[in-house]
Amino acid sequence: MAEAVKEKPSSFAEVVENCCAQLRRRQIQGSLPCAKRTAEIMRALLTMQRHPDAASLIDDVRAVGYKLQAAKPVELAVGNIVRRVLHLIREEAQTEKSDSEADSNDAVPQGKADGKQDVMKSQGVEHLHANEVILTLGMSDTTYAFLREAARKREFQVVVAEGAPRYDGHLQARKLADAGIQVTAIPDSAVFAMMARANKVLVGAHAVLANGGAIAPAGIHMVALAAHKHSTPLVVLVGLHKLSPQFPHDPDLLYNDFRGPAEVADCDMQAQGLPQQMAYAAAHSGVGGGSSEEPSNSGTEARAQGASHPH
Amino acid sequence: MDSKKPDLHRTSSRRSTHESQVEGAVPVPKTIVGFHVDGASPSPATEGLLSKEAGRSSFTEGGGSPTPVIIPPTFQRERFETREPTPQEGSAGASTGVAPAFGSVPAGSTSQQSGEGSIASGIPASARPKSLDLPAPDVPGPNTTQQQGNSGVVPPFVTSPAVVQSAVPGFEVGKPPQSQPAQPSAPPVHRSPSPAAAAPAAGVAPSSLHGFSVNSAQQQTQPQAQQAQPSLPQQQPQRLQQPPVQQPQKQQPQQPQQQGSSAPKLKEMSKAERRALQEAQRAAKAGGQKDQDGGSRKEGGGGGGGGASAGRAHSVASSESHSSHRGGAAGGKESKSAATGQKAEDKGAPAASLGDAAAKAPKRRPARKVVSLNSTELFAHLPPYQKVSVSSLLSHKDAVHMHPAVLQLGLRYADGTIKGATARCLAMLHTFCQVIQEYVTPPGKSLSRDLTHELNTIIDLLVQCRPLAVSMANTIRRLKMRIHSIDVNAPEAEAKRALIEDIRRYIEVQIIAADRLLVDCAVQKVTDGDVILTFAYSHIVANVLTKAAALGRTFKVMVVDCRPELEGQRMLEKLQASGIACSYIHLNALSFVVRDVTKVFLGAAAIMSNGTVMGRAGNAAVAMTAHAHSKPVLVCCESFKFHERVQLDSITHNELGDPDALVSLPGYPGVSPLAGWQDIPRLGLLNLKYDAMPAEYVTMIVTEYGMIPPTSVPVILREQQQDASASGGGGGM
């Protein structure tokens, strides 16, 4: 999906611009692709440009990082990778006081992101016991890998909530079932009911914040509350590249990502509301903002601050 | 697409009602029928009831049915489609032996008004020339299910023989070859309606069994199939051996051969044949499913735990035996008990907490793979979802003698054109009124006893269409008490009039007046500047909000909605029509908007004596989220929906909806990954209808008595009981 904009950019500035555009257009989506792309750009920065000393390199990295992060504030993984690179540069500068960062830097962040999955997967067996009922919401590659790995040694059932605006829970359910795991797909409304029978909740997250809260696909907050109510452990599966040092002061404003309302209410429905909306606006000009129907789709993100164990 | 369906039903059936009214001979009962269609607004009820007396005896006298049965469009469609198999029609009608029975019933009454086209005509379908070609109850069964469910995703393997085996049992030795062309294509998994339909024809003691038990009687033969399987050498892992769907498929070819043979021979034949077929099928499967890494699945299956495999095999057996076995009830019973024992052992420790469910599981087997392993354990105590069609309803043993209004009501319940606790209760009471009016006590019997019996059969049939709501159960209990109290010596006409008068008063007092009082009460809580959150559709909440708007309050409403029913869209329409500013959001985005909300208004299906509120699935999640954000949660519920039972969680008493409803994604391009879920052995869909909201989330309950905390529910219940015991005081019956 990321290939659309790439057309052999000549200068480094163009590379960054391309990446920013892709982020804005949601051509790069999800923490892992964002982290990888950022790491690639950082490597390009190191290889394409020469820097006299560490300080100037740090300045450059920081400037590029800001730019990338500003393109898509909700993708906290971008900032995380940039910070990671900065850390490595500083370390390197301290120990060697030389400009040989280039070779040590390039592969590290990327390797981290990829390797994380394996480490995490291997923990699956440790946390699941036989005949457990696991509840999850939506699609998460991490969760999928985790469960599939655990299914090699354990027999358990998974309950998958569909994850309404995106319905990627359907895909998750299908994939898990194809992988030989007993799966039950439920609508999101049944999460509360099924929580009474779930032993654990496993969810993937978009990012984990400094206070332990997680940013995850919409609906996770409800799941976390239900898990809390039923005293079910909720485990958030994330790679290290998703751990962010930032605090959610007002996460709804800062870290949310809104998509078009068409996924929630189709255009027919919105059109039906239009005349009434106009009539209402005419009648109550000034009151209630005049909008009679405004489906709001808080898209991908919602904040969850339940008990979370970032792995 | 899915979301619009019910709406479509509603409107078009309303139209058909109108048509039938125009042409019907007796103008009086129109209102009742019309009311049924709408289902939500209680107002026209009483007039219809009062005027009903005029048309009382018309039905029995054959002057045209006073209550033309309107078959909802879904069913109509199915009828027309099933008409196609012309060559077989006559024979089907003759061989089943069910159709003649219909002809004898109210033929005189219904056939006279057949001019209206099949919409309005009586349910005793075979009385009319048009529906005679409906090839008897059992044939349309599979066709319907395919059409309604599955959304047209027919697995490639499926060819007509698959249906033959499922449909044929009813014909017994009759005319199997003729029934083959009847279904051009059909779902691979055999659905429940057909065996139920087939049973009476097959002579399985229909007199003592109603629909469900007929089903279970059929299912008793299942373990035969199950036992036959393990003997096959190449398939040790029990759960792997039969992906439930494919099994029936490969048995297709043998089916015609079995038709003529005797039972023991049949069994041997099928064993040998089945092995060969299984091999062939496995090869096909290996070829077909390479991409789905079938290998790993097999490994996982081999090492599986006991409980899991038992459940698997169980569900497999159930789906399989539908298609294959039908003879040998005694042998079936033996093997059933054996299987039961084995299952109980297997479940053992891991399923300890689900002991109850496991124990009950063998009694009511899911007729199809509703939700596979998970639900056979967790939801075995709930009746599995069954698609109800005209034909499956007609095959009910009491359907022949049933008042057409009852059948109509049942269909309405089943297809969801009447839903909601209040609407269902009201519709039921109206139907009861019609039945009582046309009821004639048989000579030598007392009205109170025989009428109770009559009602019980009606309720049986209604339950088959959809499990009773608490509101209905409460009402039925009151009504039965009332009937019991009828003086034996009272003249029949008078007793009936008194009874109907009491029902009318019950409706007026307990439902209509209660609604009005409740709305007046709840409206006080809507103040200027409020942002009110509500979930799905509740007619009482809609009434409260429209009333508040009519009173000139300015407020905003956030309608939270959730799949699969998307009832919130109906709420949105209604609120918008009265000029209320609305936002429409999905349940998942709730935590984003909930901080702007000032009050939460919810409806309820029932309130338990511990304060637990049963409501449309998702209610609890909404209340929980609101509670977590310290928003007041108001539950609007009339007191006739209170129940003295205590419920701790949503699993114990619930209702399973159509699992196929989860698959279709309206407005989404492409095919859902869940499409064809029946073919995936380890995938199940669960569509719960209700959930239980703990009392702690409820700030207050608004009833017609005023606003009470959830802890005061028992007080109201006690008062109601005193009322009821004081010889039908206050509340009508």
Write out pLDDT tens, residues B655-699: 888 888 888 877 677 778 888 888 888 888 888 889 999 999 999
Residue A74 has a pLDDT of: 82
Instruction: For each of the domains in chain A, give its residue range(s) and CATH number, in order of start.
Output: 12-110 (1.20.120.420), 116-242 (3.40.50.10470)
pLDDT greater at residue B284 or residue B525: B525
pLDDT for residue B360 is more than 60: no
Residue A21 in contact with partner chain B when CB distance is under 8 A = no
Average pLDDT over residues B624-645: 92
pLDDT for residue B258 is more than 90: no
Least confident stretch, A188-192, B341-345, B418-422, B513-517: B341-345
Residue B733 has a pLDDT of: 61
The CA distance from A303 to B479, in Å, is 51
Residue A269 in contact with partner chain B when CB distance is under 8 A = yes
pLDDT for residue B607 is more than 90: yes
pLDDT for residue B102 is more than 70: no
Enter the tokens of residue B20: 């039938």
pLDDT greater at residue B221 or residue B624: B624
Nearest CA in chain B to A256: B592
Task: Rank A301-310, B9-18, B402-411 by mean pLDDT and report only the highest.
Answer: B402-411
Residue A131 in contact with partner chain B when CB distance is under 8 A = yes
Residues of A (279-308) whose Cβ lies below 8 Å from B:
279-280, 283-284, 287-289, 291-298, 302-303
- A171 Cα to chain B: minimum distance (Å): 5
Residue A138 has a pLDDT of: 87
Task: Rank B225-234, B289-298, B557-566, B724-733 by mean pLDDT and report only the highest.
Answer: B557-566
Residue B189 DSSP one-character state: S
pLDDT for residue B634 is more than 90: yes
Residue B355 has a pLDDT of: 38
pLDDT for residue B309 is more than 60: no
Please report residues of B whose CB lies closer than 8 A to that of A273. 572, 576, 582
Average pLDDT over residues B518-546: 92
Average pLDDT over residues B57-64: 35
Residue B698 has a pLDDT of: 94
Q: Which residue has the tokens 């950022």?
A: A38
- A166 Cα to chain B: minimum distance (Å): 10
pLDDT greater at residue B136 or residue B729: B729
DSSP B580-632: -EEEEEEGGGHHHHGGG-SEEEEE-SEEETTS-EEEETTHHHHHHHHHHTT--
Low-confidence ranges of chain A (pLDDT < 70): 1-10, 97-121, 124, 250-254, 277, 280-281, 283-311
Instruction: Provide the strand spans (E) within B623-672.
Output: 633-636, 642-643
Q: Do residue A298 and residue B576 have CB atoms under 8 angstroms apart?
A: no
Cα–Cα distances in angstroms (integers) from residue B69 to residues B40, B137, B182, B391, in the given order:
19, 18, 27, 15
User: Which residues, other chains included, contact B670 with Cβ-Cβ below 8 Å and sequence gap of 6+?
Assistant: none
Q: Which residue has the tokens 């069609």?
A: B389
Q: Do residue A188 and residue B585 have CB atoms under 8 angstroms apart?
A: no
Q: Do residue A131 and residue B305 have CB atoms under 8 angstroms apart?
A: yes
Residue to substitute from A189, A195, A272, A298, interface B, most B β-carbons within 10 A? A189
Residues of A (211-240) whose Cβ lies below 8 Å from B:
218-219, 221-222, 225-226, 229
pLDDT for residue B557 is more than 60: yes
**Do A84 and A106 form a contact (C-beta atoms < 8 A)?**
no
Enter the tokens of residue B346: 């297997």
Residue A204 in contact with partner chain B when CB distance is under 8 A = no
Residue B703 has a pLDDT of: 92
Residue B393 has a pLDDT of: 79
Residue B540 has a pLDDT of: 92
Average pLDDT over residues B563-584: 87
When CB atoms are compared, the residue of A180, A191, A196 closest to B297 is A180
Residue B429 has a pLDDT of: 92
Is ipTM > 0.95 here?
A: no
SS (H, E, C) chain A: CHHHCCCCCCCHHHHHHHHHHHHHCCCCCCHHHHHHHHHHHHHHHHHHCCCCCHHHHHHHHHHHHHHHHHHCCCCHHHHHHHHHHHHHHHHHHHHHCCCCHHHHHCCHHHHHHHHHHHHHHHCHHHHCCCCEEEEEECCCHHHHHHHHHHCCCCCEEEEEECCCCCCHHHHHHHHHHHCCCEEEEECHHHHHHHHCCCCEEEEECCEECCCCCEEEECCHHHHHHHHHHCCCCEEEECCHHHECCCCCCCHHHHCCCCCCHHHCCCHHHHHHHHHHHHHHHHHCCCCHHHCCECCCCCCCEEEECCCCCCC
Q: Tell me the pLDDT band of B621, cut-offs 50, 70 and 90.
A: very high
- A:B CB pairs within 8 Å: 239
Average pLDDT of the residues of chain B: 63
Q: Do residue B586 and residue A165 have CB atoms under 8 angstroms apart?
A: yes
Residue B283 has a pLDDT of: 56
Least confident stretch, B48-52, B473-477, B490-494, B558-562: B48-52
What order do you get walking across the sheet with A301-304 strand by strand?
A207-208, A214-217, A301-304
Tally Cβ neighbours within 10 Å of residue A81: 28
Please report residues of A whose CB lies closer than 8 A to that of B372. 182, 184
Residue B631 has a pLDDT of: 93
Q: Is the peptide bond before B564 cis (omega within 30 degrees of 0)?
A: yes
When CB atoms are compared, the residue of A170, A182, A192 closest to B373 is A182
The CA distance from A69 to A75, in Å, is 7
Residue A99 in contact with partner chain B when CB distance is under 8 A = no
Residue to substitute from B314, B588, B678, interface A, most A β-carbons within 10 A? B588
Nearest CA in chain A to B291: A178
User: Which residues, other chains included, contact A219 with Cβ-Cβ below 8 Å and sequence gap of 6+?
Assistant: A137, A138, A161, A163, A164, A188, A191, A302, B587, B588, B589
pLDDT greater at residue B423 or residue B52: B423
3-state SS assignment for residue B45? helix
Least confident stretch, A284-288, B175-179, B368-372: B175-179
Average pLDDT over residues B496-518: 91
